[in-house]
Chain A
Amino acid sequence: MYYVWVALFGVLGALCRYLTGVWIVSPGFPLATLIINIVGCFLLAIVMKYLAELPYISKTIITALGTGFVGSFTTFSTFSLESIQLIEKHWYGTAALYIGASLIGGLLSSRFGFYVSEQWLNRRRNRHAH
Chain B
Amino acid sequence: MLINMLLVSVGAVFGVLARLLLSNWMKTKWPMQFPLATLCINVSGSFLLGLLFASGLNSHFQLLIGTGFMGSYTTFSTFKLENIELHLKQKYRLFWSYIGASYILGIGCAALGLWVGNTYF
- Give A residues with C-beta under 8 Å from B: 3, 6-7, 9-11, 13-15, 17-19, 21, 37, 40-41, 43-45, 48, 63, 67-68, 70-81, 83-84, 87-88, 99, 102-103, 106-107, 109-111, 114
Cross-chain contact B114 with A110 (CB below 8 angstroms): no
* Bound Cα distance from A63 to B20, whole angstroms: 9
Return A98 CB to nearest CB of chain B, in Å.
11
A99 and chain B: residue at smallest CB distance: B103
For the complex, would chain A's binding face be called helix, strand, loop or mixed by DSSP majority? helix
Total residue contacts A-B, CB cutoff 8 A: 166
A33 and chain B: residue at smallest CB distance: B76
Cross-chain contact A10 with B99 (CB below 8 angstroms): no
B23 and chain A: residue at smallest CB distance: A67
Choice from A13, A106, A110 contacting B72 with Cβ under 8 Å: A13
For the complex, would chain B's binding face be called helix, strand, loop or mixed by DSSP majority? helix
Cross-chain contact A76 with B106 (CB below 8 angstroms): yes
A7 and chain B: residue at smallest CB distance: B13
A9 and chain B: residue at smallest CB distance: B16
A39 and chain B: residue at smallest CB distance: B77
Return B117 CB to nearest CB of chain A, in Å.
11
Check A45/B114 contact, CB under 8 A, given A15-B9, A74-B76: no
